[in-house]
Amino acid sequence: MTSPVKNVFDWFWRGSALAEARRAFPVPGERESALAQRARQSAEAARNQQAPVDPPEGSVHANACESYRQAAYWALASLAARAGAPPELAYTEAMWDGLDEQLLTKATDRAERADALRAALRNGSFVYFAELPREEQVLLCSELQSLVELLFEKLNERSRVLLAVYFQSGWRLGVLVVLLLAGLAGVLVLRESRELAHGKPWQASSALPGGGCKSPAQECAESPSFFFHTHEEDNPWVEFDLGAAKSVSSVQVDNREDCCPDRAFPLTIEVSTDHQTWKTVARKDEEFKSWRATFEPVNARWVRLRVLKHTYFHLAGVRIYP
């Protein structure tokens, strides 16, 4: 009994369908491939020999008719080799016995034309076609071309079936990837929507005149590089009031990038529920561009970031997550 996980994987990967297709259409043998190549070469010769759609008086399609007839013969021989028939080393009319009557009928525009097409295949030669009336040559050439194209469809059936399975697998895997990406995006959007510092007031230990945004904004046109800037002082800080005690487990800190990233460390993250007693939950002792601090969830109404030295303090952004 197969497991549900294996069944789901197989539904996306199409492994069973691919294996079944390969069993039904094994890799062509050397003889089958050689005969198919002859068929394609004869068909290409026929296309090169065909006269214009409206040839001048006296022009004939004898060469093209005979080349298409040869292409049909080699295509049938290739299909016979695929079915395991012994190789024919000389021309044999018996090869035409393997022609599907439905293909013969489908290649003609009228049912009564099937007999004429069958006779052309069995009796054809350059001389045979050259002696036919011009209108009959043109019509037979078109019918023989249609028949060859139908036979080529059968020759290409393996590639077509395998390609269909590959396409279906790719489509299903593509849908899976899209769903996974959509789910990941949804998780990220949900997480961002739960970001606790958004819209919450902040204050810094001091404010350098003309520097920074107005609380609670962390982005503003007048200060694109940082949202607050303290004076040079001992242990400068910035803190956020979440409005009520909330569970906090992660803080994203984005340092100022245009200048002086060394001013922001050593940096501690502290939390409090009463604005008097503070607990350190994370510390950064080296220079950083962006720092994602994670820790065991704690209850906090106030979250404070403090530099443990005499310095200026400024940051580009702070995000707080539950």
Q: What is the mean pLDDT of residues 109-123?
A: 87
How does pLDDT run across 149-160, given as a tens digit for each residue?
999 998 888 777
How high does pLDDT run on average in the chain? 87
| d(C-alpha 285, C-alpha 280), whole Å | 14
pLDDT at 2: 57
Q: What is the mean pLDDT of residues 238-243?
A: 97
Strongest mean pLDDT among 91-105, 208-222, 302-316: 302-316
Q: Is the pLDDT of residue 52 over 60?
A: no
pLDDT at 304: 98
- Architecture of the CATH domain 4-159: Up-down Bundle (1.20)
Q: Given this chain, do its domains 4-159 and 202-321 carry the same CATH topology?
A: no
Q: Which residue has the higher pLDDT, 284 or 210?
A: 284
Kindly report the CA angle at 23 between 21 and 24, in degrees rounded to 5?
Answer: 65
pLDDT at 83: 80
This prediction's pTM? 0.50
pLDDT at 87: 72
pLDDT at 112: 80
| d(C-alpha 249, C-alpha 197), whole Å | 13
Tell me the CA distances in angstroms from 273 to 13, 260, 279, one per residue in order: 53, 32, 10
Q: Where do we find the tokens 């601090």?
A: 293
How does pLDDT run across 270-321, given as a tens digit for each residue?
999 999 999 999 999 999 999 999 999 999 999 999 999 999 999 999 999 9
User: Domain limits of the chain?
Assistant: 4-159, 202-321
Q: What percentage of the chain has pLDDT greater than the value 90?
A: 52
Q: Which fold has domain 202-321?
A: Jelly Rolls (2.60.120)
